[in-house]
Amino acid sequence: MAKQSINIGTSANDRTGDSLRSAFNKINENFTDLYTALGLDSGGLNLGAFEFTGSTLTTTDSSAVVIDQALNVTGTLSVDGEFEITKHGDSSLPIDATNIEGWVEIKLDGEIVYLPYYK
């Protein structure tokens, strides 16, 4: 459906515009059309292949969600499935394999584990 504009007349109170009933009917139909297009009538938000329901983001075509900018997570990041790092350094040994720079603390299945990182 095309957007329905409300006729407000040519001047105030000239009785040439839409009646209140007709105007609000157009408003309701415009919102119904908008909610349907965004998928909000089913309790979620649909933006192309993306759907938001509550706090869950999914895709309608089962493709991966790609974030191509920096991502900061200030809370707990939970992964239910595989966790894959696709960009990393080369596979050669660290510059100094005996000098651990620090540790990365991660939690796997509720248990804290530490992974070393080197210079």
| Predicted confidence (pLDDT) per residue in 20-73, tens digit | 999 999 999 999 888 887 777 766 666 777 777 777 888 878 777 778 888 888
| Nearest by Cα to 64 from 42, 46, 82 | 82
pTM listed for this prediction:
0.42
Domain boundaries, the chain: 20-118
Question: 27 φ, ψ to 5°?
Answer: -60, -50
Pairing of β 50-53 and β 100-108: unpaired
Neighbours of 44 (CB within 10 A): 16
In 3D, which of 37, 109, 44 has the Cα closest to residue 79? 109
3-state SS, residue 40: helix
